[in-house]
Chains A and B, each alone.
Chain A
């Protein structure tokens, strides 16, 4: 039952938890596709090649860009949480979370520039 707006949610670390959850789900969805493509390589080189042709399409490249972001943001965000739970407390968690997202964005953009 909600009697009032939940404005306190507009909080960086709340959103960091959300991004961590969504990026995790995104990666879980991606993994079966990834194995499918690997399976193609085992099955026949021809099929793999035609698939890799497909991977030249801009929309696929954009999807790869998103994937790289998800991967890095989940990796760094997870490292932040592990450190938070296993090591002595560190102030500045907001800064660390923003840093993780920024590094992930940077890596993804560099990746995009290189494949375009």
Chain B
């Protein structure tokens, strides 16, 4: 590390909720990702550093962390794009309890998917005919726009409503509910709409679109949540949904 411009100053969160940032010097390499930096520190400077990743190619959604204040998928985030004057600050995902170092506890995030009826409710058996769904049908188009979620929790970490209201289901779970309520094969539309219209549901969203601005899959949870608000209002006006 002879030349200062070849070295990155990397601050990593160490410890639990009461921990703090510790700074490390990491050699700068071409095409380096944030995950590469974290791995380099763990392999070369401190083997006790805890963090989470699996696929390294933007498929599994397990490597998200806060990078210079923004939630990002670290395996696909290039250092060159986010370093500020050779300085990078990496912390565990916001709006979740810290387990240790860079690993956040995602249980609440996934539990809320269950509260939002995030599981597909099949209505047919394997003996039934396959449902024919035309790709151009409006409901199918709405599903297409919302299904590529990799459960990374980035939108959840970017959402201030989650921070203000611990009951709020958050962008990812609501986006999932929207895609299922546009799936004609699903048998739980009414139950799911009631679940996401209750306290902590879609009506809590402030439409900040921070979720959309950060989603690595370019999804727009705000649009999905606005769709749920519409369905919810229509159901209320029809008398199908009681406040």
**A interface residues (Cβ-Cβ under 8 A, vs B):** 1-9, 11, 13-14, 17, 81, 84-86, 89, 93-94
> Hey, which chain A residues are within 8 Å of B19, CB to CB?
3
16 CB contacts below 8 A, A to B, read A1-B17, A3-B92, A3-B94, A4-B66, A4-B89, A5-B68, A5-B69, A6-B69, A8-B69, A8-B70, A8-B210, A13-B207, A17-B207, A84-B226, A85-B230, A86-B233
Q: Counting chain B CB atoms within 10 Å of each CB, which of A3, A14, A17 scores highest?
A: A3
- What CA separation (Å) do A84 and B225 show in the bound complex? 10
- What CA separation (Å) do A3 and B17 show in the bound complex? 8
- What CA separation (Å) do A13 and B206 show in the bound complex? 9
Q: Counting chain B CB atoms within 10 Å of each CB, which of A6, A9, A85, A94 scores highest?
A: A85
Taking the nearest CB of chain A, how far is it from the CB of B212, in angstroms?
A: 9
**B interface residues (Cβ-Cβ under 8 A, vs A):** 13, 17, 19, 66, 68-71, 89, 91-92, 94, 98, 158, 160, 206-210, 213-214, 222-223, 226-227, 229-230, 233
What is the interface of chain B mostly: helix, strand, loop, or mixed?
mixed
Q: Counting chain B CB atoms within 10 Å of each CB, which of A2, A8, A89, A94 scores highest?
A: A8
Contact of A11 among B17, B94, B209, B226 (CB under 8 A): B209
Contact of B13 among A3, A17, A93 (CB under 8 A): A3
> Hey, which chain A residues are within 8 Å of B71, CB to CB?
8
Contact of B208 among A5, A6, A11, A86 (CB under 8 A): A11
> Hey, which chain A residues are within 8 Å of B213, CB to CB?
8, 11
What is the interface of chain A mostly: helix, strand, loop, or mixed?
helix
Taking the nearest CB of chain A, how far is it from the CB of B3, in angstroms?
A: 28
Known: A3-B94, A4-B69, A7-B69. A81 touches B207 (CB 8 A): yes
> Hey, which chain B residues are within 8 Å of A4, CB to CB?
13, 66, 69, 89, 91, 94
Q: Are B229 and A85 in contact (CB under 8 A)?
A: yes
> Hey, which chain B residues are within 8 Å of A81, CB to CB?
207
Taking the nearest CB of chain B, how far is it from the CB of A84, in angstroms?
A: 5
Q: Are A7 and B68 in contact (CB under 8 A)?
A: yes
Taking the nearest CB of chain B, how far is it from the CB of A39, in angstroms?
A: 36
Known: A3-B91, A4-B69. A17 touches B229 (CB 8 A): no
Taking the nearest CB of chain A, how far is it from the CB of B140, in angstroms?
A: 16
Contact of B214 among A5, A8, A94 (CB under 8 A): A8
Q: Are A14 and B226 in contact (CB under 8 A)?
A: no
Instruction: State the 9 A-B residue pairs at the shortest beta-carbon distance, nearest first.
Output: A7-B69, A5-B69, A4-B91, A89-B223, A14-B208, A4-B66, A3-B91, A85-B229, A13-B209
